[in-house]
Amino acid sequence: MSFSIMSYGADVHVAPQELDAFFLVQLPLRGEDRIESGNQVRSSRPGSGTIHCPGQSFSMNWSSNCSKLVVRIEREALERHATNLIGRPLRQALQFDTDLNTRSGGGQAWETTIRQLLRSLQQNPELVAHPLMRAQFEQLIMSGLLVWQGNSLSDSLDRPDTEVLPRHLKVAEEYMHAHLDTAITNEQLAELTGISLRTLYNSFRKFRGVSPMRYLRDLRMEKVRQELLDTEKFRSVTSVATRWGFFELGRFAAEYRKRYGESPSDTLRRVP
């Protein structure tokens, strides 16, 4: 996560490359920026920020007096935090509504938090010297953005968790986590937990929003990404995918791109 205060002092046109591995939040402090994305044109000024997600392309037209507070959040960190908040793996890449209203409501509260934090850090840099304190600040910022700004997980985040997770579901999930590299079937899980296949399926649908095998596939996809990002291991896309049970490589690559916004080979190439 990083913070920048940016200005050019002249009218400028900025056409950055398509975002890859991070989310970019722009909070205008003064002036105006006309942002073009596809066929859409929006005006961004104080009180009206923007969020740009990985996989999006856009260009900007800053007025000479335009100044912005820019927050960059790494995609890996934000999606991992979102996964922890909703209690299940993401089934698709995280997407935010582009327009961020900072004049009122949650958007205003989030920008106020960012400004106060930045002022505190400028005055006392030692606030984030300790990893534990740094992590607390990062989680506050990511939680606020996920809860207060519309995104593809808003329904899951807004849904109150009023029901206790059934014991048989916990047992099934724990078994999956412990045996991800072995063959697992619905029948095995039903026998292990002592419930019927119908109850097993309905429990996953109700509490996780997916079938048991879809949940298992999501866990294994996370393992694939972790290995592709691991600089300590020699790996190829094929070897990693097949190790975690993805043998239809074309389907796997398409699902991976939909989920993470990049191909498996792109992930492998960008790791030193």
Answer whether residue 208 shows pLDDT above 80: yes
> Which of 158, 186, 203 is the C-terminal boundary of a domain?
158
Query: Residue 50 in 3-state DSSP?
Result: strand
Q: In the sheet that 67-74 helps form, which strands lie side by side, from edge to edge?
A: 2-7, 67-74, 22-30, 48-52, 99-101
pLDDT of 160 above 60: no
Quick one: pLDDT band at residue 28, thresholds 50, 70, 90?
very high
Mean pLDDT of 126-131: 78
Residue at 94 is within a domain: no
What mean pLDDT is predicted for residues 171-189?
Answer: 92
Residue 159 has a pLDDT of 63
pLDDT of residue 271: 64
The per-residue pLDDT for 55 is: 87
Same domain, 24 and 149: yes
| Percent of the chain with pLDDT strictly greater than 70 | 96
- CA atoms within 13 A of residue 114's CA, in its CB half-sphere: 29
Structure tokens that stand for 26 in this block: 């722009």
199 belongs to a structural domain:
yes
Flag whether 179 is in a domain: yes
Higher pLDDT, 159 or 253: 253
Q: Let me know: does 49 contact 20? Beta carbons within 8 Å.
A: no
Domain stops at, among 158, 180, 204 = 158
pLDDT band at 165 (very low <50, low <70, confident <90, very high): confident
Task: Examine the domain organization and report whether 173 and 142 are in the same domain.
Answer: no
Does one domain contain both 108 and 187? no
In a domain, residue 145? The reply is yes
Q: What is the rounded distance in angstroms from the CA atom of residue 272 to the CA atom of residue 268?
A: 9
What does the pLDDT average to over 134-138?
83
Does the predicted TM-score (pTM) go above 0.75? Answer: no
Q: For residues 149-174, give the mean pLDDT.
A: 82
User: Distance between CA atoms of 4 and 178, rounded to whole angstroms?
Assistant: 42
Could you tell me the residue range of the domain that residue 7 belongs to?
2-89+99-158
What is the count of structural domains for the chain? 2
Same domain, 171 and 149: no
CB 157 within 8 A of CB 86: yes
Of the three residues 116, 140, 158, the one that is the final residue of a domain is 158
Average pLDDT value over all residues in the chain: 89
Task: Tell me the mean pLDDT in the region 135-145.
Answer: 89
Average pLDDT over residues 12-27: 92
CATH code, domain with 201: 1.10.10.60
**82-116 pLDDT per residue, tens:** 887 887 788 888 999 999 999 999 999 999 999 99
Do 78 and 171 lie in one domain? The reply is no
Quickly state the pLDDT bin for 130 (edges 50, 70, 90).
confident
Same-domain status, 193 and 240: yes
Look at residues 269, 252, 262 and name the one whose alpha carbon lies nearest to residue 218: 252
CATH number at residue 45: 2.60.120.280
